[in-house]
């Protein structure tokens, strides 16, 4: 059974640094841009959404995911919409050693249950096209494509 636990201040600090680097690397690959440029972009994004050193605001929810008293990953949920009825997943991350073991499906089911408790009626997310493992997971658990974001390097 997967547990969804609110991140501690120490976990937020650790998560923030790891997630910024992960986002920068994903964006550098997706947009074919220099990694250092994407690191600056990632830091700006995190600073705007998680100001004050990473403390989550009222509509930002940071959780660690646990299985058998072991951390398996993190999820960042932003509640959106006029009634905060949309749970937008800003990040769903499993530690590399936890991937390929079925934790993704089980962890996302736990996240879905948790978002219902927050009052969400739907879940949305973005995934980089090159991340075929994540795309497959999301399709397998019932997500469908509702739009395409396209980019072209000039």
CATH of residue 8: 3.40.630.30
C-alpha closest to that of 80 among 60, 64, 108 = 60
Is 24 within a domain? yes
* pTM higher than 0.75: yes
Is 131 within a domain? yes
Question: In terms of residue numbers, what domain contains 92?
Answer: 2-140
pLDDT of residue 59: 86
Is 77 within a domain? yes
Mean pLDDT of the region 22-45: 96
pLDDT tens column, 94-120: 999 999 899 999 999 999 999 999 999
């Amino acid at each position: 059974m997967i547990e969804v636990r609110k991140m501690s201040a120490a976990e937020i600090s650790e998560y923030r640094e790891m997630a910024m680097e992960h986002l920068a690397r994903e964006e550098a690959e997706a947009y074919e841009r220099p990694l250092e440029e994407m690191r600056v972009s990632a830091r700006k994004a995190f600073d705007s959404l998680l100001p004050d050193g990473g403390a989550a605001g009222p509509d930002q929810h940071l959780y660690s995911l646990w299985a058998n008293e072991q951390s398996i990953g993190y999820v960042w949920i932003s509640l959106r919409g006029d009634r905060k009825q949309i749970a937008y997943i800003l990040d769903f991350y499993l530690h590399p050693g936890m991937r390929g073991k079925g934790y993704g499906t089980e962890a996302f089911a736990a996240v879905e249950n948790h978002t219902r408790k927050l009052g969400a009626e739907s879940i949305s997310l973005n995934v980089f096209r090159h991340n075929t493992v994540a795309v497959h997971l999301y399709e397998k658990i019932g997500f469908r494509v509702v739009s395409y974001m396209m980019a072209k390097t000039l």
